[in-house]
Structure 1
Amino acid sequence: MSSIDAAEDGFSALVVTPDTLTGARLEADLVRAGARAVCRESSAGAAVSRWEAGTFGLVVVDLDPFEVGVTELVRHVGGSPSSRLMLLVAPEDVALAADLVTRFRNVGLLVKRAEPQAEDPRPTGLRPISDVDQNVLRMLAGGHSLRSIARSVTLSPHTVKRRIASLRAELGAADRAHLVSTAIRNGLIG
Structure 2
Amino acid sequence: MSDRIRLLLVDDQALVRGAMGALLGLEPDLKVVGEAADGGAAEAEAARLRPDVCLMDIQMAGVDGIAATVAVRAASPATRVLIVTTFARAGYLRSAMDAGAAGFIVKDAPPAELAAAVRRVHAGARVVDPALAAESLFDGANPLTEREQQVLRLSAGGAPVAAIAREVFLSPGTVRNYLSTSIGKTGAANRVQAARIAREKGWI
Q: TM-score scaled by structure 2?
A: 0.44
Q: TM-score scaled by structure 1?
A: 0.46
Bigger-Rg structure (1/2): 1
